[in-house]
């Protein structure tokens, strides 16, 4: 399933952001979780879309990082600092990368560059979006579950796109969130691709073994 527009996917599941980057809002009975961290320039969009779709961001108690590339962790600093009680989950390798000064510097540099390319730099200037050493959370691994009450996300270790990649399966929705796994065509400025595909980012994340700017929508699994 290819998702192009923000909005409701099915009961208890929303896509927020834009075509180029987004996050998923998984709503349990008593609390909600954001899946993936998108790009930093999404923050103004997400705040607007929470209101537009009448979603209560105060119900968000958890964020799941599927892998630690800059285009999947951008909103984490803002939401963790503005809502300190939010718990952030990621793989052990992801936390290792996200505590490395060189990686943090690269994430911030690329995030700012992409925001500028997308014409969002001024809109983002009002928010604290940079990664620093104040962001921490819980390590999850194969077989563990993140509990939202009536909804549970089962963690799968799926290295390949990067060494830090995990996926999440929600049995109640029969939906798999596979992190990145396949490319898709988008209409995007050539300058954005030039920003993304550079040797410096590959060097900074050399330990991840592979880097591609690709996104997968959640997959609904049949019975």
CA dihedral (86, 16, 145, 104) positive or negative: negative
pLDDT of residue 186: 53
For the chain, list residues with pLDDT below 70: 1, 181-223
Q: Are strands 87-90 and 138-139 parallel, antiparallel or unpaired?
A: parallel
Ordered domains of the chain (ranges, CATH): 7-215 (3.60.15.10)
C-alpha torsion angle, residues 182, 198, 23, 223 (rounded to 10): 10
pLDDT of amino acid 222: 43
The string of pLDDT tens digits covering residues 101-110 is: 999 999 999 9
Cβ within 8 Å of residue 70, ≥6 positions away: 39, 106, 107, 110, 111, 201
CA-derived radius of gyration, the chain: 16
CA-wise closest residue to 127 among 70, 75, 52: 75
Please return the burial class of 18, using the count of CB atoms within 10 Å of its CB with bins 0-12, 13-18 and 19+: middle
Alpha-carbon distance of 22 to 111, in angstroms, equals 14
Q: What pLDDT, on the 0 to 100 scale, is given for residue 1?
A: 62
How many Cβ atoms sit within 10 Å of the Cβ of residue 167?
A: 23
What is the CA 63 to chain-centroid distance, rounded? Answer: 8
Nearest to 68 by CA among 183, 194, 176, 159: 159
Res 4: pLDDT: 79
CA atoms of 213 and 151, how far apart (whole Å): 30
> Per residue in 105-160, pLDDT tens?
999 999 999 999 989 999 999 999 999 999 999 999 999 999 999 999 999 999 88
Query: How many CB atoms are closer than 10 A to CB 74?
Result: 28
What DSSP assignment string belongs to 178-190? --S---------H
pLDDT score of 211: 36
| Cα separation, 101 vs 97, whole angstroms | 9
**Residue 150 CB coordination number (10 Å):** 11
């Amino acid at each position: 399933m290819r998702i192009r527009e923000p909005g409701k996917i099915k009961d208890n599941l929303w896509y927020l952001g834009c075509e180029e980057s987004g996050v998923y809002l998984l709503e349990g009975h008593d609390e909600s979780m954001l899946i993936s961290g998108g790009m930093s320039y999404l923050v103004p969009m997400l705040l607007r879309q929470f209101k537009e779709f009448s979603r209560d961001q105060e119900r968000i108690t958890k964020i799941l990082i599927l892998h630690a590339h800059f285009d999947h962790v951008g909103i984490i600093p803002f939401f963790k600092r503005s809502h300190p009680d939010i718990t952030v989950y990621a793989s052990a390798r992801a936390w290792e990368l996200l505590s490395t000064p060189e990686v943090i510097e690269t994430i911030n540099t690329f995030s700012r560059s992409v925001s500028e390319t997308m014409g969002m730099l001024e809109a983002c200037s009002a928010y604290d979006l940079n990664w620093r050493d104040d962001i921490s959370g819980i390590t999850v691994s194969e077989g563990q579950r993140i509990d939202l009450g009536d909804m549970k996300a089962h963690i799968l270790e799926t290295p390949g796109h990067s060494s830090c990649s995990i996926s999440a399966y929600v049995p109640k929705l029969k939906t798999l969130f596979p992190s990145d796994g396949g490319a898709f065509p988008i209409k995007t400025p050539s300058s954005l691709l030039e920003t993304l595909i550079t040797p410096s980012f590959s060097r900074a994340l050399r330990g991840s073994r592979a880097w591609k700017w690709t996104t997968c929508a959640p997959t609904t699994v049949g019975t």
